Amino acid sequence: MKKICVITDNQYIYTEFKNLIQEKCMKEKFEFYYTESNRKFCEDYKNRIDFRPIQLNNKNKEFFEQYNLFFSLHCKQIFPEKLVNNYRCINIHPGFNPHNRGWYPQVFSIINQKPIGVTIHEMDTELDHGPIIFQKEVEIFSYDTSYDVYQRIIKMEINMLKENLNTLILGTYKTISLKEEGNVNYKYDFDKICKLDMERKGTLKEHIDLLRATTFDGYRNAYFLDKDNNKIYVSITLDKV
């Protein structure tokens, strides 16, 4: 029996996915990996044989051939061409392809109002780009921060995996190719919006959207530099009554 290779760098997804395969009593054998450069996971999962570090571009054909499917569940490394071109690889992406592909999709959707949600797709050599298997949109409310939208997205990801895991494993689905290329954001685009331009002109809505797009519990993102060159972090609180 061939195996399924799961690569994840996300604690929530890892825990929930493991619960899910246990609940479903899956007969397939799953092997779990995280990215070698993920320092937190290297610390937390040191000496664990059921969750190991991996660097995919150092792996050869013999390694890939053990598996009949690869899952990228929020994986920090780019899957190499030799893998995506020759084996079935499925990505669970916290965004609505082709809109705001790449880094932190909900951040950019709050700002540019493009659709946001979850996309499960077959991987190709481009970022968050391959044929779509399943896709669902998530709503953004006027009082949401990036954190709120992200929580909605990751819960939906787990629900979609719950509903569709057997189909994904068997490959009994029809895919839809992207009709347009959409847009891609990188980490440096996020870093750029976090550096607040205090002279920037715009509507108050644009300014509030920028602040809620960069507000995420547990992270200090947006900031400005004051006259003494102090870095002042800014986040926003929105209360719906």
Bridge-based pairing state of the strands 184-185 and 132-138:
unpaired
Task: Name which position in 5, 7, 10, 178 contacts ligand 0FX (CB under 6 A).
Answer: 10
Nearer to ligand 0FX, 165 or 214 (CB): 214
How many residues does the structure list for the chain? 241
Q: Give the residue carrying structure tokens 């399924």.
A: 4
Task: Name which position in 219, 224, 225, 226 contacts ligand 0FX (CB under 6 A).
Answer: 219
Residue 70 binding ligand 0FX, by CB under 6 A: no
Nearer to ligand 0FX, 76 or 82 (CB): 76
Q: Which two tokens stand for residue 178?
A: 């992207």
Instruction: Write the Ramachandran bin of 196: left for phi over 0, alpha for psi from -120 to 50, otherwise beta.
Output: beta
Min dist. Cβ of residue 146 to ligand 0FX (A): 6
Q: Which stretch binds ligand 0FX (CB under 6 A): 18-26, 62-70, 204-212, 215-223?
A: 215-223
Q: How many CB atoms lie within 10 A of CB 45?
A: 17
Q: Which two tokens stand for residue 102?
A: 């790449």
Task: Name which position in 6, 9, 148, 210 contacts ligand 0FX (CB under 6 A).
Answer: 9
Residue 221 binding ligand 0FX, by CB under 6 A: yes
Q: Give the residue carrying structure tokens 């007969």.
A: 27
Nearer to ligand 0FX, 44 or 65 (CB): 44
Residue 99 binding ligand 0FX, by CB under 6 A: no
* Residue whose C-alpha is closest to residue 56's, from 119, 8, 93, 11: 8
CA-CA distance, 62 to 185, in Å (whole number)?
Answer: 34
Using alpha carbons only, what angle is made at residue 226 by residues 220 and 229, rounded to the nearest 5 degrees? Answer: 90
Residue 14 binding ligand 0FX, by CB under 6 A: no
Catalytic, 207? Answer no
* Residue whose C-alpha is closest to residue 185's, from 175, 176, 194: 194
Per the CB < 8 A criterion, the answer to whether 116 and 105 are in contact is yes
Nearer to ligand 0FX, 219 or 233 (CB): 219
User: Which DSSP symbol is given to 79?
Assistant: P
Residue 216 binding ligand 0FX, by CB under 6 A: yes
Task: Name which position in 74, 101, 121, 129 contacts ligand 0FX (CB under 6 A).
Answer: 74
Task: Name which position in 14, 67, 70, 104 contacts ligand 0FX (CB under 6 A).
Answer: 104
One of 93, 99, 121, 129 is an active-site residue; which one?
Answer: 93
Residues with a known catalytic role? 93
User: Under the rule (CB under 6 A), what is the footprint of ligand 0FX?
Assistant: 9-10, 74, 76, 93-94, 103-104, 146, 150, 216, 219, 221
